[in-house]
């Protein structure tokens, strides 16, 4: 039996898993790169005691989570400063503070530089402004590619939405609507294309059968590599920015 819960560890909200075990005699904490923190408790353990327990182990948890953080999402962190880099289409953009910067939303892309109005740094609302910028870019890039790929493959769709799902890069509905995660725009273009092709193909084959993967491979030979890339960067979906 596993259950997801939230806790505050050193001022950061984390999601962890509680597992009740018939065999466990005492409480055990585990931190793994893919799954984060898991707390295994004896079957009869009173859940109300968990916050206090986690508080007493705060230091250990925070140190162990930190060990895996660079591996999970190298470029996404909580507080940004000028000179930091953020990922975009598989490359790194350098954040540069600009005085009197009047771009759209105070954030503009100039080559490999993301120019950000100095006011955004002052107010501590940079993460929000960056997310807004990413969402706008994602809508632009993903709609463009979906248009092209949909006519190339010959599968039509109805509408695209850009979302902030915590568990997926893309999804589709029976009404032929496609949903994509705004964080997908951080990935290299071939990976973005793969996710779009994957979702478009689902409009024909609503499953992950052999036939489905054959259809995907017709337009995306390297789908296995792209799938692997997404798996490796999965943690970016749940960490960083306004989570
Ligand atoms: Zn799928």
pLDDT for 221: 95
Q: Ligand 1 center to residue 202 CA distance, Å?
A: 7
The whole-number pLDDT of residue 72 equals 37
pLDDT in tens, 40-74: 999 888 888 898 989 998 888 887 777 665 433 43
User: Please, are residues 144 and 136 in contact by the beta-carbon 8 Å criterion?
Assistant: no
**Whole-number pLDDT of residue 13:** 81
Report the pLDDT value the prediction gives residue 196, as an integer from 0 to 100.
98
Which tens digit of pLDDT belongs to each residue from 106-126?
Answer: 899 999 999 999 888 866 688
**Ligand 1 centroid, distance to 93 Cα (angstroms):** 30
pLDDT at 188: 93
Please tell me the predicted confidence (pLDDT) of residue 240: 52
Instruction: Name the pLDDT band for 12 (thresholds 50, 70, 90).
Output: confident
- 216 CA distance to ligand 1 centroid (A)? 10
Residue 232 scores a pLDDT above 90: no
**What pLDDT was estimated at residue 160?**
97
pLDDT of residue 185: 95
**Cα of 213 to ligand 1 centre, how many Å?**
9
Report the C-alpha gap between 89 and 194 in whole angstroms: 13
| Distance (Å) from CA 75 to ligand 1 centroid | 27
CA 111–ligand 1 middle distance (angstroms):
34
Mean pLDDT of the chain: 86
CA of 229 to the centre of ligand 1 (A): 15
Give residue 223 CA to ligand 1 midpoint distance, Å. Answer: 12
Question: How remote is the CA of residue 171 from the centroid of ligand 1, in Å?
Answer: 7
The winner for highest mean pLDDT among 120-134, 135-149, 162-176 is 135-149
State the pLDDT confidence band at 207, using cuts at 50, 70 and 90: very high
- Ligand 1 centroid–CA 199 distance in Å is 6
Q: What is the pLDDT of residue 238?
A: 66
Gap from CA of 192 to ligand 1 centroid (Å): 14
pLDDT attached to residue 205: 95
């Amino acid at each position: 039996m596993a259950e997801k819960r939230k806790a505050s560890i050193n001022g950061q909200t984390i999601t962890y898993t509680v597992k009740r075990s018939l065999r466990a005699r005492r409480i055990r904490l585990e931190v793994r790169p893919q799954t984060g923190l898991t707390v295994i408790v004896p079957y009869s353990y009173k859940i109300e005691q968990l916050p206090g327990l986690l508080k007493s182990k705060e230091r250990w948890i925070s140190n162990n989570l930190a060990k895996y953080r660079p591996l999970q999402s190298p470029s996404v962190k909580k507080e940004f400063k000028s000179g930091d880099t953020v990922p975009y289409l598989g490359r790194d953009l350098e954040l540069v503070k600009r005085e009197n910067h009047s771009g759209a939303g105070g954030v503009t892309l100039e080559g490999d530089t993301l120019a950000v109005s100095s006011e955004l740094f002052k107010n501590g609302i940079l993460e929000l402004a960056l997310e807004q910028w990413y969402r706008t870019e994602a809508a632009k890039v993903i709609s463009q590619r979906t248009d092209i790929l949909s006519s190339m493959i010959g599968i039509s769709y109805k509408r695209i939405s850009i979302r902030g799902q915590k568990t997926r890069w893309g999804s589709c509905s029976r009404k032929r609507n496609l949903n994509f995660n705004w964080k997908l725009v951080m990935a290299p273009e071939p990976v973005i294309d793969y996710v779009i092709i994957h979702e478009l193909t689902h409009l024909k084959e609503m499953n992950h059968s052999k036939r489905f993967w054959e259809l995907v491979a017709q337009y995306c030979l390297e789908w296995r590599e792209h799938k692997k890339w997404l798996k490796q960067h999965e943690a970016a979906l749940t960490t960083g920015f306004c989570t």
